[in-house]
Chain A
């Protein structure tokens, strides 16, 4: 059971606070979509609207082409997996998982059979007669997932389901969640503020901020080619250099940076309409910082001074100041084995095709 979700021009107000501002979004049937953003960005409000716990101030919600905007939660083809799991404490796990089937008038024997199968699907065979308080957090989570899937919803809504788990368990559950989603084929809409979690599980990431969509795209796209500064900074660490467009051709664009004029491939530009003289920002990730030119397309950032180095196992995370940029701190991931030749001096480079060029904040995009 699966269906497409369409959100048409949806806004929601809490009193004077505009929590969602004209959201238009389509999530394909069977997709694993992640609503990602900092707290207060409206992601949980959007999920509550889909679940039927809130009614939008404006706009329409459709599932599989049917308008569900004004249906109560029980009449929607959705189920929600709550952040605190919300298991029924007085019922056995079989009864918990079978509750939705019970509400649909299915016989006790049949729903227990089905509940047993679902508990097996989530990796909890032979615990059906236990009560929720006898389980660990991770196990409760699986039961909540089984309970939500038992009624075969078209769309499963997950409200920060992994938030309460420790890091190791969270990574493990991410993999399982994704595997289960592949098996059942249901459209999953998952809310989180953890961008690593989002990238690990999503087919589609929806980055939100201030009640608006910032970027909707595949994980690679959202991380590597964010279409605005917010997304770039939220998806991971990013460095920004202000500059101005001075020249452009069909293949490249020349940008005036504090360190001098540098040339980037035209594909680096997120908004290709940038005219000559436009203020832009060159954005690059710490892992794009290099110490020696590997390609001819390298963009020389000049001499830098190391301010701090920390070892992260896979790399050294280095904070440095580029001479041409004064006080601004840049972050770079330097090799696992790394000895600065000249004490704390560096010569940093950037592969020009790794960087992206965004319109400077404040200019129209």
Chain B
């Protein structure tokens, strides 16, 4: 009897917990199908007219494309930099290796606001005008430590002999890295790429500080919100959410599954 009672309590707790996490998302998605003018109860619909409005609004679709471009390219660069620094620190004896490692990870602990402001001041000093390019650089700065940490954790001594075998069979250092080390670390590299992508995809503060005419989606949504609540914002939000879910599913089915098998 007692066991059943605690089970019930546990289920209630789980329901509350998941409700707390997902209710806002659920409400957001639900009211994106609202057919009235306000995303508030009562719900009357469903209707796809706000999705239609999103795709008819060129500033929103432009922002969506901008976000994609920034996320895809900045994550790729962050991965390359993260991999190279992890490889260097794992395979070579460098002066003050511990300090250098700490220095790479340091941006992790600094708030995005500080990084954004710092970059803004730097770009102003050197006369670099704000654009999608500067936003991308900002995202590389915040994501490189992440890529480094993930990849570095997976580089171990167990791969040293394998790299040595490749060198013994005639591979140059560059070929060892490209044909042996990187493919062996593919799961870690892919995981860090997708994580960087999602971080870049919904990052607001740096994108806001470092962009000017071309903006990313979070910045566009923010300016949309300033003109008041509107089911269109719900529709955009739902699209962003759908995208994140898609990446998560891809990640689950490719990278993590492969990881388990090995």
Q: Measuring CB to CB, which residues of chain A are less than 8 angstroms from any residue of chain B?
A: 51-53, 72-74, 78-80, 82, 84, 86-91, 99-100, 103-104, 133, 147, 151
Name 21 interchain pairs, CB-CB below 8 A, sorted by A: A52-B168, A73-B168, A74-B168, A74-B169, A74-B170, A78-B168, A80-B164, A82-B164, A84-B161, A86-B165, A88-B162, A88-B166, A89-B184, A89-B262, A90-B183, A90-B184, A90-B186, A91-B183, A100-B170, A103-B171, A103-B175
Minimal Cβ-Cβ distance residue in B for A51: B168
Minimal Cβ-Cβ distance residue in B for A100: B169
Determine whether the beta carbon of A103 is less than 8 Å from that of B162: no
| Residue in A86, A133, A147 whose CB lies within 8 Å of B161 | A86
Contacts of A53 in B (CB 8 A): 164
Determine whether the beta carbon of B161 is less than 8 Å from that of A74: no
Question: Can you add 20 more A-B contacts, CB < 8 Å, to A86-B165, A103-B175?
Answer: A51-B168, A73-B164, A74-B169, A74-B172, A80-B165, A80-B168, A82-B161, A84-B161, A86-B164, A87-B162, A87-B165, A88-B162, A88-B166, A88-B180, A88-B183, A89-B162, A89-B184, A90-B183, A100-B169, A103-B171
Determine whether the beta carbon of B165 is less than 8 Å from that of A82: yes
The 7 lowest CB-CB distance pairs between A and B, nearest first, are A100-B169, A103-B170, A86-B165, A86-B161, A90-B183, A73-B168, A74-B170
B167 within 8 A of A: yes
Contacts of A82 in B (CB 8 A): 161, 164-165
Name the distance in Å between B16's Cβ and chain A's nearest Cβ.
Answer: 44
Minimal Cβ-Cβ distance residue in B for A95: B179
| Residue in B162, B170, B180 whose CB lies within 8 Å of A151 | B170
Contacts of A73 in B (CB 8 A): 164, 167-168
Task: With A89-B184, A90-B184 as known contacts, state yes or no: A74 contacts B167, CB within 8 Å.
Answer: yes
| Residue in B167, B170, B183, B262 whose CB lies within 8 Å of A104 | B170
Determine whether the beta carbon of B169 is less than 8 Å from that of A147: yes
Most chain A Cβ neighbours within 10 Å, of B164, B169, B171, B172: B169
Contacts of B168 in A (CB 8 A): 51-52, 73-74, 78-80
- A-B Cβ contacts below 8 A, count: 57
Most chain A Cβ neighbours within 10 Å, of B165, B171, B180, B262: B165
Give complex CA distance A315, B183 in Å. 55
Give complex CA distance A80, B165 in Å. 7
Q: Measuring CB to CB, which residues of chain B are less than 8 angstroms from any residue of chain A?
A: 161-162, 164-172, 175, 180, 183-184, 186, 262
Contacts of B262 in A (CB 8 A): 89, 133
Contacts of B165 in A (CB 8 A): 80, 82, 86-88, 147
Contacts of A86 in B (CB 8 A): 161-162, 164-165
Give complex CA distance A79, B166 in Å. 10
Give complex CA distance A78, B166 in Å. 13
Give complex CA distance A99, B162 in Å. 12
Contacts of A147 in B (CB 8 A): 165, 169
Give complex CA distance A276, B169 in Å. 58
Contacts of B186 in A (CB 8 A): 90
Minimal Cβ-Cβ distance residue in A for B170: A103
Contacts of B172 in A (CB 8 A): 74
Give complex CA distance A84, B164 in Å. 12
Give complex CA distance A133, B261 in Å. 10
Contacts of A84 in B (CB 8 A): 161
Give complex CA distance A93, B186 in Å. 19
Minimal Cβ-Cβ distance residue in B for A53: B164
Contacts of B161 in A (CB 8 A): 82, 84, 86
Contacts of A52 in B (CB 8 A): 168
Give complex CA distance A86, B162 in Å. 4
Name the distance in Å between A258's Cβ and chain B's nearest Cβ.
Answer: 53
Give complex CA distance A98, B165 in Å. 13
Contacts of A89 in B (CB 8 A): 162, 184, 262
Contacts of A90 in B (CB 8 A): 183-184, 186
| Residue in A72, A99, A104 whose CB lies within 8 Å of B166 | A99
Determine whether the beta carbon of A74 is less than 8 Å from that of B171: yes
Name the distance in Å between A259's Cβ and chain B's nearest Cβ.
Answer: 54
Determine whether the beta carbon of B184 is less than 8 Å from that of A99: no
Give complex CA distance A103, B174 in Å. 12
Contacts of B167 in A (CB 8 A): 72-74
Name the distance in Å between B167's Cβ and chain A's nearest Cβ.
Answer: 5
Contacts of A72 in B (CB 8 A): 167
Minimal Cβ-Cβ distance residue in B for A105: B170
Most chain A Cβ neighbours within 10 Å, of B168, B175, B184: B168
Give complex CA distance A88, B162 in Å. 6
Contacts of A103 in B (CB 8 A): 169-171, 175
Contacts of A100 in B (CB 8 A): 169-170
Contacts of A133 in B (CB 8 A): 262
Minimal Cβ-Cβ distance residue in A for B160: A86
Give complex CA distance A90, B178 in Å. 13
Most chain B Cβ neighbours within 10 Å, of A73, A82, A84, A104: A73
Contacts of A74 in B (CB 8 A): 167-172
Name the distance in Å between B83's Cβ and chain A's nearest Cβ.
Answer: 15
Contacts of B166 in A (CB 8 A): 88, 99
Name the distance in Å between B259's Cβ and chain A's nearest Cβ.
Answer: 13
Most chain A Cβ neighbours within 10 Å, of B167, B172, B186, B262: B167
